[in-house]
Amino acid sequence: MKYKLTFLFLFALIFQGFTQSLEEVPFDRTWKGKIEFLAPEETSFDWEKKGRVLVFSLFTGFEHWVIPHTEEVVRVLGEKSGAFDVERSVDIRVFELENLKSYDAIVLNNTCSERDYRNLFWDQLKRNSNGDSASLMSKAVELENNLIQYVEQGGGLMVLHGGITTLNQSEKFSELLGASFDYHPPQQEIQIRLSNPNHPLVQAFPAEGFKHIDEPYFYNGAFSKGDFTSLLHFENASIKSQREGQELTEGVTPAAWIREQGNGRVMYCAPSHNAQSYDNPDLLRFFLDNLQWVAGQVSFD
């Protein structure tokens, strides 16, 4: 009877997560317990060396209420599977080269920058220093170059949702990620589809994909080069309230992709604006699988 009641309790939590509106979900013991239950117990891919992952969650622009939830998701995925030790930070000093070398992967967790410069490093340096603007911008560029060098020398980078705006006006950062953020219509139900159902990194999902409530992101910058492998996408014609004069009625737009640069690996995933997203155990598995790939625990041709 005890186990039956526990199952019913957890089922009720999951059902509530799927059916409730997109109001903020309290970051509390109940929610954490649900994620502990839903997270996969084992990795999809064998690994030899436990990875070290940093979740970086500083924002200077728009604050996504899901930031602490996402931090907890990554921590639970690493701890429950045993594949990763996960640390958290909001200190930009972690982007000094010597500090970056300590990690197998960095996760940029909704690290939105202010609209003026769209440069998270500049924003934070300006807030915390009275130095002249030229010196501060020089330091911001140095930290950006450190991140790019870290990836090119073999580091991993996972960027979630609003993290794409971290350095949104930088051509080099756009090329590293594969795109820059342009705009998004209002949140709506989206049918997320698998770009290649045979790809090892989308095996968490059923062949038809999944329904998801989120902001459908559209991109610019390096996006036009298509220099990435799409994992997930949506059909443009299905998206409501697109920007007037720029409506796309044909084709698809990626929602998650991977790419390599130098010896390193980059993954971007837009679906993750709401804590309700994590009620989908398939999405949790997808994050863990891709974290393994980004951190170099598994390779594919």
Q: How is 260-277 classified by DSSP, letter by letter?
A: EETTEEEEEE---SSGGG
Instruction: Give me the half-sphere count of Cα atoms (radius 13 Å) on the Cβ side of residue 241.
Output: 11
Q: What is the pLDDT of residue 301?
A: 74
Q: What is the mean pLDDT of the chain?
A: 93
Q: Please give the share of the chain, as a percent, with pLDDT higher than 70.
A: 93
151-192 pLDDT per residue, tens: 999 999 999 999 999 999 999 999 999 999 999 999 999 999
- Classify domain 52-294 at the CATH superfamily level: Class I glutamine amidotransferase (GATase) domain (3.40.50.880)
pLDDT, mean of residues 215-220: 97
Residue 18 confidence class, pLDDT cut points 50, 70, 90: very low
CA 227 to chain centre: 18
> Is the per-residue pLDDT at 256 higher than 80?
yes
pLDDT, mean of residues 5-28: 56
Q: What is the pLDDT of residue 116?
A: 86
pTM of the model: 0.92
Residue 130 confidence class, pLDDT cut points 50, 70, 90: confident
pLDDT, mean of residues 245-260: 97
Within 10 A of 252 (CB to CB), how many other CB atoms are there?
16
Q: What is the pLDDT of residue 131?
A: 82
> Is the per-residue pLDDT at 8 higher than 70?
no
Q: Which two tokens stand for residue 250?
A: 């044909």
H/E stretch holding 11 reads: helix 2-19
Q: Which two tokens stand for residue 269?
A: 């995933």
Phi and psi based region of residue 178 (left: phi greater than 0; alpha: psi -120 to 50; beta: remaining)? left
Q: What is the pLDDT of residue 4?
A: 41
pLDDT, mean of residues 116-120: 93
Q: Please give the share of the chain, as a percent, with pLDDT higher than 90.
A: 89
Sequence-separated (6 or more) residues with CB below 8 Å from residue 171 = 221, 222
Whole-number Cα distances in Å, 49 to 183, 214, 241 = 39, 35, 46
Q: What is the pLDDT of residue 1?
A: 42
